Amino acid sequence: MTARRPDEPHRSTTTLELFFDLCFVVAVAQAAGNLHHAVSEGHVGMAAGHYAMVFFAIWWAWMNFTWFASAYDTDDDVYRITTLVEISGALILAAGVPRAFTEEDFTTITFGYVVMRLAAVAHWIRAAAGDPAHRAAASRYAVGVVLVQVGWLVRLALPDGWGVVSFVVLVIAELLVPALAERPGMTPWHPRHIVERYGLFTLIVLGEVVLATSLAVQTGVDAGDTHLWSVAASGAIIVYALWWLYFDRPVEMSTQLRRSLFWGYGHYLIFSSVAAVGAGLAVEVDHERGDGHISGVTAGYAVAVPVAVYLFTLWALHVRRQQRSRLAAVFPATAVLVLLAPLGPVPVPLVAVLLFLLVAVTVLARRVNATADPTAATVSTGSDDAAS
């Protein structure tokens, strides 16, 4: 297994990577669906905590495969088989999501997660053997991942009171592995390829939101609740706006380790908040139909909170450095207004209106900037100043 060039021209996502993403969306759908049902039943705090834990397992395994494939995708038989084992682990994880939410039993999820991560170790061992220039980094990855997986298995035997503390400790350990492994010399991941992969997964998660919202509204309409069309229309505008804002400008990415990790890690909030928007819209449908056991304010916040998290994170990762002007402050300001929307009579339509206005402002700002500086560069991937 040899390294690929980080400046390789015309590098694009492979069919195996797309298949990997689509299979992982099964786990995303399970997490969002169980979040929806738990919140509708009034278990808001428990649902949020379990969702954050489950989504971390999904996102972290996806992210590590994505960055490894960017550097070492050889597309040989061994690589394909090992990747299919990772996908199998994701399916095992997805099967354990309902029990994690209803019984707080993370055994199946842990087993699926460990399968995914140990398959990744096989990748790193091959990379260490075939790429002497980056052998130190690959070896550190392999050893670090194995040690943390032992920790996850040990966690299953700990008393219930240690669950949250042990989870936080192991998450920190997982996040430290790439930061420490890349220190001897970064693996040759491809900046433009990474940006494309993250964008594609964002699209796939947005598609899952559209499906979840459509099914929820369909259930209500079939039962005779035609007034739910306003929720459907608002949900559509929200999803369209989330897509527009993420892909409004070409994404810039730094090759500095600290900034690239910040960008990569920050997408946990992007992906998880987008999926949670779908769950929130389904909660709103339940509330409108009288099937939920929560107040209208709580149902509104089921949509408003993930939308606000998305806007804050998008501002921190993309907008803050790409738009060095006062207009960049519109994103966090809109996020604050979104958080106030559930206090009004029609929270979801109000969130949709706020996002529509934010899109309008960004479009106007882009046109003004283009008129003022038509020769400005739009993409940068290697300079110290480029980071998002």
In a domain, residue 5? The reply is: no
Q: What is the mean pLDDT of residues 70-83?
A: 91
Phi then psi dihedrals of residue 7, to 5 deg: -110, 20
Structure tokens at 13: 């996502």
For the cut 90, the answer to whether the pLDDT of residue 213 exceeds it is no
Q: What is the mean pLDDT of residues 73-97?
A: 92
Are residue 326 and residue 228 in the same domain, yes or no? Answer: yes
Angle at 349 between CA 343 and CA 351, to 5 degrees: 65
Q: What pLDDT is recorded for position 49?
A: 92
Q: What is the mean pLDDT of residues 192-201?
A: 92
Q: What pLDDT is recorded for position 255?
A: 75
In a domain, residue 3? The reply is: no
Q: State percent of the chain over pLDDT 70.
A: 93
Are residue 38 and residue 141 in the same domain, yes or no? Answer: yes
Q: Which of 131, 160, 181 is the last residue of a domain?
A: 181
Q: What pLDDT is recorded for position 233?
A: 86
Q: State percent of the chain over pLDDT 90.
A: 56
- Cβ atoms of 281 and 209 closer than 8 Å: yes
Q: Which of 148, 181, 214 is the last residue of a domain?
A: 181
pLDDT one-digit tens code per residue, 264-280: 999 999 999 999 999 99
Distances (CA, A) of 378 to 14, 39, 200, 366: 25, 42, 20, 11
Are residue 199 and residue 169 in the same domain, yes or no? Answer: no
Q: What pLDDT is recorded for position 258?
A: 83
Q: How confident is the model at residue 210 (pLDDT cuts 50, 70, 90)?
A: confident
For the cut 80, the answer to whether the pLDDT of residue 70 exceeds it is yes
Are residue 79 and residue 29 in the same domain, yes or no? Answer: yes
DSSP secondary structure string for all residues of 212-224 = HHHHHHHHHHHTT
- Cβ atoms of 366 and 249 closer than 8 Å: yes
In a domain, residue 382? The reply is: no
Q: What pLDDT is recorded for position 373?
A: 60
Phi then psi dihedrals of residue 372, to 5 deg: -75, -35
Q: What pLDDT is recorded for position 186?
A: 82
In a domain, residue 23? The reply is: yes
Are residue 66 and residue 86 in the same domain, yes or no? Answer: yes
In a domain, residue 384? The reply is: no
Q: How confident is the model at residue 324 (pLDDT cuts 50, 70, 90)?
A: low
Total domains in the fold of the chain = 2
Quote the pTM value. 0.88
Are residue 145 and residue 220 in the same domain, yes or no? Answer: no
In a domain, residue 87? The reply is: yes
Phi-psi domain of 151 (left: phi exceeds 0; alpha: psi -120 through 50; beta: other): alpha
In terms of average pLDDT, the best of 81-95, 150-164, 247-261 is 81-95
Which of 21-25, 295-299, 372-376 is least confident? 372-376
- Cβ atoms of 284 and 305 closer than 8 Å: no
DSSP secondary structure string for all residues of 53-117 = HHHHHHHHHHHHHHHHHHHH----HHHHHHHHHHHHHHHHHHHHHHHHHHH---HHHHHHHHHHH
Which of 88-97, 104-113, 266-275, 325-334 is least confident? 325-334
End-to-end CA, the chain: 30
Is residue 151 packed enough to be buried (19+ CB in 10 Å), middle (13-18) or exposed (0-12)?
middle
Are residue 22 and residue 63 in the same domain, yes or no? Answer: yes
Are residue 168 and residue 22 in the same domain, yes or no? Answer: yes
Q: Measured between alpha carbons, how far is 177 from 168 in angstroms, rounded to an integer?
A: 15
For the cut 50, the answer to whether the pLDDT of residue 387 exceeds it is no
Q: Which residue has the tokens 């779908």?
A: 278
Q: What is the mean pLDDT of residues 337-347?
A: 93
Q: How confident is the model at residue 185 (pLDDT cuts 50, 70, 90)?
A: confident
Are residue 162 and residue 48 in the same domain, yes or no? Answer: yes
Q: How confident is the model at residue 325 (pLDDT cuts 50, 70, 90)?
A: low
Of 29 and 186, the one with more pLDDT: 29
Of 33 and 221, the one with more pLDDT: 33
In a domain, residue 376? The reply is: no
In terms of average pLDDT, the best of 100-109, 142-151, 220-229 is 142-151
3-state SS, one letter per residue, for 11-29: CCCCHHHHHHHHHHHHHHH
In a domain, residue 329? The reply is: yes
Q: Measured between alpha carbons, how far is 233 from 328 in angstroms, rounded to an integer?
A: 28
Q: Which residue has the tokens 């997986």?
A: 149
Are residue 68 and residue 201 in the same domain, yes or no? Answer: no
For the cut 70, the answer to whether the pLDDT of residue 326 exceeds it is no
Distances (CA, A) of 258 to 179, 210, 255, 388: 8, 34, 9, 11
Of 219 and 207, the one with more pLDDT: 207
Q: What pLDDT is recorded for position 323?
A: 61
Q: Measured between alpha carbons, how far is 370 from 156 in angstroms, rounded to an integer?
A: 56
- Cβ atoms of 325 and 342 closer than 8 Å: no
Are residue 353 and residue 270 in the same domain, yes or no? Answer: yes
For the cut 60, the answer to whether the pLDDT of residue 374 exceeds it is no
**CATH number of the domain to which 281 belongs:** 1.20.1410
Q: What is the mean pLDDT of residues 276-285?
A: 91
For residue 210, the enclosing domain spans: 191-371
Are residue 321 and residue 278 in the same domain, yes or no? Answer: yes
Q: How confident is the model at residue 322 (pLDDT cuts 50, 70, 90)?
A: low
Q: Which residue has the tokens 């990762």?
A: 317
For the cut 70, the answer to whether the pLDDT of residue 56 exceeds it is yes
Q: How confident is the model at residue 375 (pLDDT cuts 50, 70, 90)?
A: low
Average pLDDT in the chain: 87
Of 274 and 254, the one with more pLDDT: 274
